[in-house]
């Protein structure tokens, strides 16, 4: 019976460590764009269709994630942002490569990925146009 409390203790420690894991850790082997903003912020709302297009057009090549920092304050704080929106570019290993504050146009996001050495294949929907 002494092993049950020990087991519960070890599980609790493991869960605590999982909760403390940095949010920048890679969840996939893909480069990742994290946009930190809020659904009531006008420049953030301007980013919404851009993020949706990137997620759809580059599915399987790029992970795109939005974090509403007004609804998820702790997660927003873990990224150490100063203003919203903020876009953070992570490589496939989870290392932060670039950070931008404010609205960021789609063409500029794609140019930044290229500058960082991430070659994204042109989406089928835009080929030949």
Query: Which residue in the list 33, 36, 38, 44 is annotated as catalytic?
Result: 44
Give the distance from CA 64 to its chain's centroid: 6
* Neighbouring residues of 82: CB distance < 8 A, sequence distance ≥ 6: 101
What DSSP state is assigned to residue 126?
G
41 is catalytic: yes
Residue entry with tokens 């609790």? 12
Q: Given the residues 24, 41, 116, 120, select the one marked as catalytic.
A: 41
| SS3 category, 77 | helix
Q: Are 54 and 112 in contact (CB under 8 A)?
A: no
Name the residue with tokens 């070890």: 10
Q: What is the DSSP letter of 81?
A: -
List the catalytic residues.
41, 44
């Amino acid at each position: 019976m002494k092993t049950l409390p020990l087991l519960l203790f070890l599980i609790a420690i493991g869960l605590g460590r999982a909760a403390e894991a940095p949010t920048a850790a890679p969840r996939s082997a893909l480069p990742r764009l994290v946009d930190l903003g809020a659904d009531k912020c006008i420049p953030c709302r301007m980013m919404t269709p851009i993020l949706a297009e990137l997620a759809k057009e580059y599915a399987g090549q790029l992970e795109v994630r939005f974090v509403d920092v007004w609804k998820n304050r702790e997660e927003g704080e873990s990224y150490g942002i100063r203003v919203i929106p903020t876009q953070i570019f992570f490589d496939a290993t989870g290392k932060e490569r670039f950070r931008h504050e404010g609205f960021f146009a789609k063409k500029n996001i794609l140019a930044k990925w290229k500058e960082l050495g991430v070659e994204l294949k042109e989406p089928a929907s835009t080929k030949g146009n």
